[in-house]
Structure 1
Amino acid sequence: MSGETNGSSGSENISERLDFSLEGLDQGASLLSTATPAATSVADPQTPAYINKQYSTDYVPEKAGFAHLGEPQELVRKLDQVGYQCLPHLAIQVSLLLNTPTAKIRTLLLEGPSGCGKSFMAKSLAKISGAELMCLSCYKDMPLDALIESQSQFAIASAMAGEKIEAEKLMNLGILSRAFLKSQKGPVILLIDELDKPDSAIDTFFLGPIQDARIWLESRGPIDANPENLLIMFTKNFNRKLDEALLRRCHPILMTYLDSTLERKILSPHCDPRLVANLVGVADRMRNSGGSYQFERPPAPEELLTAGLYVSKLLEWGITDFAYVGKCVWPIIAKSEHDRAVMEHMMRYHPDFMDPLVMDSRNAKIDEIHARLGRIVLHEIIADPDASRREAAWTDLDYN
């Protein structure tokens, strides 16, 4: 994507470039139907097992544990090594919690809009601390008893069949109990994601365990947690208020979207610098529009990266039509019906996006509106063949 190439202003028929031959598809289907069945594949013992990069990393902490994450500047540096761009204020708040002595369980409450990096922060903290990450995604009407312990249907069936089963094995430990138990041997981060989706009854399940670092069970003796080895992280959006007693036990942090500087840092290793600047500029406009252009959910860095990778792939395929590129980017950065409507309104009527060649924005076709976004995204990457005409039109309108 070095330099500029001539692009289409919307007249090129994209369907011709993406046309598929039905005859070719029929031939391919025929070949498949007559092909000799492949032998049943057997896993090659020499092939390494797939590793989920979201939960694993090449980063190796010098010492496992939360006490070794250091001061805020060191925390920012370590998080950067695993791909998390941490705002200074957020690093200070986390460092205060982790470095202040306490007898109860350290608990973070991360509240913010979807896509601002709440869950990713938990994954990143687990990587740099060497902690085991345990996750629970909450949902409406979820069974709450299973947080502590629940009946083992297999053990009960075995007992009914005449097998001798120990009392403890009749009950399965819930995720909260397992996290407490594992913290006795090493660092654990328990991520309780979207705590505000169930009703407020779930909040009370955490009060005693957080305060006392102990869980009382019916099937066995109490389980104590090592407060130095356990960090509970709650995430929530803005669906409901939490119980006052739980709030008193948490360190609350209000998270926001990253600023443009950190967004550029995230996108730069993957996209052309000019494309990064263009996409971040669009996101900045959406975040700061206000007034008549109030977006519910401006794009998060992950969505900007997706848009950047999509545009890069379109250019690699030779698709440079402004309208088509804008059409592809549109649903990535404005996902809700409300935000898509606001985006269209802004592209049609905001003075910064007016097109002197199409002065009747109210009745302009949607392809032309998509093209306006495409020209912004591809600014200084793909040359606008109508640039001189637009400049002359602005001059005629005495626009300054």
Structure 2
Amino acid sequence: MIQHARRLFLSLGLATAMALGSASAPAMAQVPYLSLIPQNSSKYAAIVVDAKTGEVLYGKRADAPRYPASITKVMTLYLAFEALAAGKIELDDPVVFSPRAAAQSPTKLGVRAGDSITVMQAMQGMVTRSANDASVAMAEKLGGTEQRFATLMTLRAHELGMTNTNFTNANGLPDSRNISSARDLAILSRAVMRDYPQYYRLFSTKSFNFRGQTIGNHNHMLSEVSGVDGLKTGFTNASGFNIAISGVRDNRRLIVVVLGGPNRITRDRVAESLLNTGFEVLDRRARGEQITVAQNFFEPPQLAQATQPSMQQGDTDLGLSIQLASSPPPSRASKIQIVEPSTVPKLNGKAKASAGGRWTIQVGAFKNRSDAREQLSLVEKKFGKHVDDAKAVAEKDNGRYTARFSGMNETEAKNACKAIKAKKQPCVVMAPGRG
């Protein structure tokens, strides 16, 4: 009955729009569940993306900063997939739980400090139970420390085109600096299935057996909605109920991200409505209809009015405007090298001594030294007043060349990165000993 009503709403919306205008007039698609979002919600953001073309079919506050919560783990898993594909780790390698990893807040697997599980079990735990302890243990295995791994996460995110994202931990537990956006999380979701299709299927795991217990997946849409085969849910009090999903129907794939739902049921139903509507539009296009999707899907006027005053930086939604943006696939950027703790590089003595400071900023990682030097020259040219007194270093790091400015104090490093990131350039502050 619900499915019938949803199709009826959509059909009426499309028919009305086409009756009122030419064949190329935008068609309005009705998504009734959006009315369930509280009228005073300042957390809601969403996006629907065609996974093949990158076309944005719908966006509501798509670039507004939001707390990703446990969707953060998708980036942790992306870097784990990268390490697996590069042969740096194997699925049956041990992941040892440090006291810090074991002490993480629930939800978690509950592995004791000093104990270990396999890489595969750690990844399954992250996907299903959203295990915070397994996320930190994996981060420590791949990056040496969670702090350094979070730096690698942010660098990789920027390489993928996630310009509004900054990671400070591997699991998404509350931290006001751990931020992303609906668009960035869609980019990440698309990158996972594009770059590592052999591992993407892990996100469709409905349950797995771990030490005598069956652990179910928090993502109920895997069982409830036709075609959905991933990705991840998330929740904190600050973020609300988040989800990033992907589904396939008739050989077409969509990605849907919904952030800030008031509860799990509403979040899931909104995501399902957006997914169904997106597939309806693609199906009608395939039959030759020239239609688009309304920017607000006939959202209740009171919702649009209530949310406008609380828009945050990066929110480009214009209420009832109609917009169909095209988002090209992010470029296939260079891979960040994941290193074991024993090989984490340290700043050399010369870099530490220069300019009277021990802080460093990293502005990129490249396949060859010439590209790293070119990036250093670009930053020096555009942001000279922030890096003039620093030492520019194109440093080899496990087969990669990092572009860094060292010898800064804490204030100089943070101010420099703030200015560089404001121009959508990658930059990460590295405290003494983090490099």
The normalised TM-score by structure 2 is 0.21
Q: Give 1 or 2 for the bigger CA radius of gyration.
A: 1
Q: Which has the higher strand share?
A: 2
Q: Which has the higher helix share?
A: 1
